[in-house]
Chains A and B, each alone.
Chain A
Amino acid sequence: MAINTGVNETGSSSLFLPEVATLIDKREMTDVDSFFTFKLKNRPLGHRYGQFVELSIPGIGEAPFSISSPPTDDHTFEMVIRKVGQVTAAIHSLSPGDVVGIRGPFGTSFPMEDLKGSSLLFVTGGIGLVPARSAILYALNNRGAYKDITILFGCRDPGQRLFTDELAAWSTREDITFMETVDKCEDGTWDGHVGVITTLFPNLKAIDPTDTYAIIVGPPVMYKFVIMSLHDMEISDKRIIVSLERNMKCGVGKCGHCQINNLYVCQDGPVFYYDDIKLLKEAI
């Protein structure tokens, strides 16, 4: 049997051939989430806000993860990875200097350029903060380009809070509104707001629905309720942007796992204008 083998620098010989990236830095964030900085060997990743990569460890497998940092010039990129299974456990056991395989970046991104001149309302739940952070940091670094910036973050309990240093810094900034909540806290370590994320909405100062874009990223159950609240605030579907999660095995529009009707979330998403998917029955 003839076998064509070969390593292709550009990855063009196979959609499935990863490039090499080195782990630069690793920090624990919660008991299940850790923060990772990787660096691609030969080139900058060239990602946009909200895109993801397929990260793999040979012998364990491959899985999709969002890039949490805005694009930088120094070839590094950041991720926060929750330990839930085989691949994620193997990533958690890496040490700086170890290498992993990377394919991507894949998918659509938050249209940060198009949103310039408008107000932004970020609604993030749990690990949804990870992809949203790339867009949030961009907006904060280009603060002058946007009107009001509001960031809402909710998670299950105080132990699940991510990027706590950054959350603290956001909460003291005068030029943005930042609000946080936890679903529950039983040990008295939290004196902030308690309740699901939509319970923060009544506390928001008046938002101009004709001049605000809402960006929602969170667990699957969150979307329907947040969108209902946004509708109450009269924000139109054209101004609601979501990032969806699905089971993904290829990232390149072939394996069928991420399919919603005729859309492939790995290619046509994960970032969508809600208006474009609201008629797809299985999307939200």
Chain B
Amino acid sequence: MDNVTISKKDFLDFVEKKIQEGDSKVIGVVGKGSSYVFDRLESSSRLCLDYDVTILPPKKYFQPPREVLLRFITKKADSYITENANEPLTIIGIHYYDLAAISLMDRAFSEGNRDENYLKKRENSLLIGMYPTQAFKYRFAGSVVKGVQPYKAADLMLADMGDGNYTVEIVTEKGRAYLSSAVQKPFTYSLEELENAKKRIKDDQKIPVPIEMSPDFLVKNHGHPVWEVFGEKCYSCGSCVLVCPTCYCFDVLDEVDLDLKNGKRIRVWDGCMLENFATCAGGHNFRKTKAARFRHRIFRKGVNLPLKYNYYGCVGCGRCAHACTSSIAGPVKVLTYIQDNQ
């Protein structure tokens, strides 16, 4: 992996040039009220890379909240045609933990059956990641995202050197080609300085159970009172799964157009915390209680995904803890409670 240095001003000019060239839609982090969101950039002046966390992770660009899979003529089963809407995208400023989540989604949508609706969107994207420059009080990513996982999704990575320069790590050849028209300077920092820049922001929180151990720890505590105690306070509102970068469950349904003649099969975001997620016809709900759903969500992150894909299913972004009106959703709080009540 090569490193180059680009001044912040040159980087913004470069982004502006890319926006004007119009080869791909440029997405970046922008301010919205007192929060931040990923949104389309019409001008580089809106880009705000100095942010704590975005309300939603960038998964919405690859698995849209509502996505057309098929179009058809109503009741004519020989009329189905596939649809896969996608266009070249560049997304700028994705924090490393959100990249780790995308690498998990890449795995989930490509392993076994390849989901081209997701994968085509990913192939058509270029991701510019970065290390956080602001603290977020619920974040604990540093203690769960280890190793190269973010780099499996990134094409370029930015580290703010604190002196008006970014170091850009060139992760893929695609990233190198994209960056070729930027004004670059040689990388003159030491590797230690680069590491320090990446780790400049210390998380306020830490996962209490070393992540390598968490599947065993959770399985052992399958019957722990925590599920009842926390489940009791849950409103089954689904906010925690909606904002989570590693949640990708969906529902599939048909929509008929106003003309009643044409229609589409769509997939929409769904979540295991919603009451009827596991209800079958006949009314049997395989996760009837809030406690069972609460446990399922945490087990999916801490046990099921690690067993299936060898990646931890939580990247420590802290969004769920922030979003939950009941202040129960955060994995740190759950694991701490279990540990304190053995």
- Residues of A bordering B, CB below 8 Å: 1-8, 13-18, 20-21, 56-63, 82, 84-85, 88, 99-101, 219-220, 245-247, 249-250, 252-257, 259, 261-262, 267, 281-282
Q: Could you tell me the distance in whole angstroms from the C-beta of A78 to the nearest C-beta in chain B? A: 18
Rounded to whole angstroms, the CA-CA distance of A77 and B215 in the bound complex is 43
Q: Which residues of B contact A250 (CB under 8 A)?
A: 250, 252
Task: Chain B residues near A100: list those with CB within 8 A.
Answer: 77
**Are B108 and A254 closer than 8 Å at their CB atoms?**
yes
Provided the pairs A5-B81, A256-B249, A282-B292 are in contact, do residues A60 and B116 lie with their beta carbons within 8 angstroms?
no
Interface contact B77-A61, CB-CB below 8 Å: no
Q: A1-B85, A3-B84 are in contact. Are A58 and B254 (CB under 8 A)?
A: yes
| Residues of chain A contacted by B81 (CB below 8 angstroms) | 5-7, 17
A246 and B286 contacting across the interface, CB-CB below 8 Å: yes
Chain A minimum-CB-distance residue to B299? A261
CB distance from B88 to the nearest CB of A (A): 9
Please tell me which one of the listed residues A84, A255, A281 contacts residue B250 in the complex, with CB atoms under 8 A apart.
A255
A and B contact pairs by CB, cutoff 8 A, 24 listed: A7-B80, A7-B81, A7-B82, A8-B82, A13-B116, A16-B69, A20-B77, A58-B263, A59-B72, A59-B75, A61-B254, A85-B281, A219-B282, A247-B279, A247-B280, A252-B112, A252-B113, A254-B250, A255-B267, A255-B270, A256-B248, A256-B250, A262-B303, A282-B292
- In the complex, the answer to whether B251 meets A56 with C-beta atoms within 8 Å is no
| A8 nearest CB neighbor, chain B only | B82
Contact with A along B81-113 (1 / 0, CB 8 A): 111111100000000000000000000110011
Interface core residue of B113, B282, B286 (most chain A CB under 10 Å): B286
A-B contact sample (8 more), CB < 8 A, given A2-B86, A256-B270: A5-B71, A15-B113, A58-B73, A59-B75, A99-B76, A247-B279, A257-B278, A259-B300
Distance (Å) between the CB of A106 and the closest chain B CB? 10
Could you tell me the distance between the alpha carbons of A15 and B73 in the complex, rounded to whole angstroms? 19
B77 contact set on A, CB distance < 8 A: 18, 20-21, 56-58, 99-101
Which A residues are CB-close (under 8 A) to B69? 14, 16
In the bound assembly, the distance between CA atoms of A262 and B300 in angstroms comes to 8
In the complex, which residues of chain B have a beta carbon less than 8 angstroms from the beta carbon of A262? 303-305, 307-308
**7 nearest CB pairs, A to B:** A256-B249, A59-B74, A58-B72, A14-B82, A262-B307, A99-B77, A252-B113
Is the pair A282, B286 in contact by a Cβ cutoff of 8 Å? yes
**Which of B75, B117, B250, B299 has most chain A Cβ within 10 Å?**
B75
Dominant SS among interface residues on chain B: mixed
Q: Which residue on chain B has the smallest CB distance to residue A11?
A: B82
Are B249's CB and A4's CB within 8 A?
Answer: no
Nearest CB of chain B from residue A227's CB, rounded to whole Å:
17
How far apart are the CA atoms of A62 and B253 in the complex, in Å? 8
Interface size class of B (residues with CB under 8 A): 35 or more
Q: Does B134 contact A (CB under 8 A)?
A: no
A158 to B250, CA, bound (A): 39
With both chains docked as a complex, state the minimum distance between the C-beta of B301 and any C-beta of chain A, in angstroms: 12
The answer, yes or no, to whether B11 is at the interface (CB within 8 Å) is: no
CA distance A99 to B284 in the complex (A): 30
CB distance from A284 to the nearest CB of B (A): 10
Q: Check A255/B82 contact, CB under 8 A, given A1-B87, A84-B281, A219-B282.
A: no
Chain A residues lying within 8 Å of B79, measured Cβ to Cβ, are 58
A101–B81 Cα gap in the complex (Å)? 12
- Residue-by-residue, is B277-291 near A (CB-CB < 8 Å gives 1, otherwise 0)? 111111010110000
- Complex contact B281–A88 (CB within 8 A): yes
- Complex: how many Å from CA A18 to CA B113? 15
Docked Cα-Cα span, A257 to B292, in Å, equals: 14
A14 CB to closest chain B CB (Å) equals: 4
State the Cβ distance, B270 to closest chain A Cβ, in Å.
7
The answer to whether B287 and A282 touch across the interface, beta carbons within 8 angstroms, is yes
B192 within 8 A of partner (CB)? no
Bound together, the chains give a CA A246 to CA B265 distance in angstroms of: 21
Residue B70, interface by CB 8 Å: yes
Say whether A255 contacts B87, CB under 8 Å.
Answer: no
Is B272 positioned at the interface, with any CB of A under 8 Å from its CB? yes
Q: Which residues of A contact B249 (CB under 8 A)?
A: 255-257
Cβ contact within 8 Å between B115 and A15: yes
Residues of A within 8 A of B72 (CB): 58-59
**Segment 38-84 of B: residues with Cβ below 8 Å from A:** 69-84
Residues in B with CB closer than 8 Å to A259 are 272, 296, 300, 304
In whole angstroms, how far apart are the Cα atoms of A219 and B69 in the complex?
32
* 8 Å CB contact of B252 from A4, A99, A255: A255
